[in-house]
Structure 1
Amino acid sequence: MEWEPEADWVALTVGTGVSNGGVWLTPDGLVVKRLLPGVERVDHYAYWRRQAEVASSGVVERTVGVRGPRCVKVESDPGGVTVCSAAVSPVEFEPVELAAAVGRFGLNEFEPAEWFARRILWDRLAKDEKGAGWASLVGEERLPAGVRRDCGRLWERRYELMDELDRLPQQVVHGDAHPVNLIGREGDHVVAVDWEQFGVGPVGFDLGYLVVSTEATIDVLLGAYQSGSRSTWPREAVRRGAVLTAAITVVARAAWSLTQDEPGDHVERLCRLDQVVAEAARQAL
């Protein structure tokens, strides 16, 4: 029998990706997420079962800084996996609060499981290389000449940038640290959802995602991150990890958006972060 949501569940989102079959809120206060089969490589950023692995293991339910909601149950069937978790009451956070929280989160230490994501940006690059890549931005007339030039430099030196990220200190990362996923509060901790990219990444990775997804400057966010992490990692290493992650992410998303019928604001966001992209390109020379 094919899996179906209950009639009295309220849809929060319909399927938003290859492996996301939808999210619902139940009358008794649970959030139900349906996972559909997709990428099978367990360390790939898009491994389809990772959110179920995170939930059933309980590995992030008591972490400091950022933690996951309480898992109620995980059920598998021939068509996919259903994850039931406690609903999270949303609260408003300032960007600096989130930066401090992800800084604290990086202090958690784990013995990585085989299903931890390990090469998020490498995997995304491999996907981009199957298409036009970031170099498509070089001829984009909506972009200032300097931004077009820097996008071209990043694309030409993409392997060097990835190797540089690999040489930075590695830490635990949420993997998709946008404000839309950092939504609740539990004491001094931020409660996050959507752990599909959870794993290990370079220091500053989660901070880079906040640089892309908030209006705060990198200097303000970096100061909060260092405060949260008790300056455990050298400031210059954290900044470099955040700059490279943010630049690679915003450039890749802008390039992808040009192939879409509804491109969103990715090109405008790239223009807003022109100095971050310039810093990444300048140090890559």
Structure 2
Amino acid sequence: MSWQPSPDWQPLTAGIGQATGGVWRTPGGEVVKRLVSGVTEPRHHAYWERQALVAESGVVARTAGLRAPVCRGLERDADGITLRMAHVAPYEWAPEALAEALGRFSACSVPEPDWGARNVLRDRLRTVERRGGWAALGGLSTPAIQALWARRETALEVLDALPRVPTHGDAHPANLLGRDGDDVIAIDWEQFGLGPAGFDLGYLLLGTDVPLDDLVAAHEAGASRTHHLPSAPPSGDVRGGAALVAAYTGVSRAAWALGRTGAGDHVERLGRLASIVDEAVSHAA
């Protein structure tokens, strides 16, 4: 008999992410996430077991700035993994406070597990290439966007040369959900790993309307608070990484969204990213 959720669980979502088969709230207040078999390469950004391994290992259970919810247990079966976590009450964070927390997290010393995501942006751009690049943008493409696409290999080399720091991998405000003192309780760690400085800040930038200058300043302030932790990467590296990640991710999202329901948000944000695209082109020169 195949796995089925308990009938008294309340569905929270039909499943977000390639390996997510559903999320529920139990009568006892736990959150249950069902992971289904998918990508089996442990370094790939979509490796299906990663969220369970993050919870099981406790690698980010006590990190400063950003940490995972408390794991209540997990069960493996022939069809997938059932992950049980403490419920995380949502808290309305200011974007600058999230950037500050990401700064503290980036300064943590976290061992890199052999199942941690690597080359997230490179993997995603390879997928975009197979789908025809950014051709779908048509008249929305600008000379700067065209230059950004042409320089993508150089940009990836620039990111490879940046300091490697702990990264959540999908630091959108919707995933930076709860609060424990000054720390953020984050959900959906499916792309966790060690990545280039500024990676998480680039994703945060895409989900806010706060200028990059302000986010970088808050990130640097957070890193400077953690005197007992290793030195954080220089703010210039953080800014460069954030600009590159935000530009390539934001343009790719807009190109993918065109012709689909809800494309307007991505296209509107593309217009607001013009200065970030220009900056990213300069970093990839």
- Find the residue that maps to 1:63 and give its secondary structure: coil
Match of 2:146 among 125, 139, 152: 152
Shift of 1:17: 3.6
- Find the residue that maps to 2:263 and give its secondary structure: coil
Q: Give 2:167's aligned amino acid.
A: V
C-alpha spacing 1:111/1:232, structure 2 compared with 1 (3 Å): closer
Residue in 2 that maps onto 1:174 = 168
Residue in 2 that maps onto 1:71 = 71
Q: Is 1:53–2:53 an aligned residue pair?
A: yes
User: Deviation string for 1:211-237 (max 9, x for gaps)?
Assistant: 111110100101000000118322211
C-alpha distance in 2 between matches for 1:130 and 1:46: 17
Shift of 1:40: 0.6
Q: Is 1:190–2:165 an aligned residue pair?
A: no
Q: Give 1:197's aligned amino acid.
A: Q
Q: Give 1:151's aligned amino acid.
A: I
Shift of 1:259: 5.0
- Find the residue that maps to 1:282 and give its secondary structure: helix
C-alpha distance in 2 between matches for 1:17 and 1:118: 17
Q: Where do 5+ consecutive residues of structure 2 fail to align?
A: 225-230
User: Deviation string for 1:69-105 (max 9, x for gaps)?
Assistant: 0001111111111100000011100000000000100
Shift of 1:23: 0.4
Q: TM-score, normalised by structure 1?
A: 0.95
Residue in 2 that maps onto 1:219 = 213
Alignment of 1:118-157 (within 5 A): 118-137=118-137, 139-140=138-139, 143=140, 148-157=142-151
C-alpha distance in 1 between matches for 2:232 and 2:211: 21
Residue in 2 that maps onto 1:247 = 247
Is residue 56–residue 71 contact of structure 1 (8 Å, CA) maintained in 2?
A: yes
Shift of 1:165: 0.4
C-alpha spacing 1:25/1:99, structure 2 compared with 1 (3 Å): same
Q: Is 1:27–2:27 an aligned residue pair?
A: yes
C-alpha distance in 1 between matches for 2:64 and 2:74: 24
Q: Give 2:187's aligned amino acid.
A: V
Is residue 19–residue 48 contact of structure 2 (8 Å, CA) maintained in 1?
A: yes
Q: TM-score, normalised by structure 2?
A: 0.95
Is residue 135–residue 151 contact of structure 1 (8 Å, CA) maintained in 2?
A: no
Shift of 1:278: 1.2
Shift of 1:61: 1.1
Q: Give 1:122's aligned amino acid.
A: R
RMSD of aligned alpha carbons: 1.3
User: Deviation string for 1:137-173 (max 9, x for gaps)?
Assistant: 2x23xx3xxx621111111111000000000111110
Q: Give 1:101's aligned amino acid.
A: A
Is residue 39–residue 47 contact of structure 1 (8 Å, CA) maintained in 2?
A: yes
Which aligned runs of 4 or more in structure 1 are off by greater than 6 angstroms? none
Shift of 1:261: 4.5
Identity rate, percent: 51
Q: Where do 5+ consecutive residues of structure 1 fail to align?
A: none
Shift of 1:110: 2.1
Residue in 2 that maps onto 1:163 = 157
C-alpha spacing 1:42/1:259, structure 2 compared with 1 (3 Å): farther
Is residue 88–residue 183 contact of structure 1 (8 Å, CA) maintained in 2?
A: yes
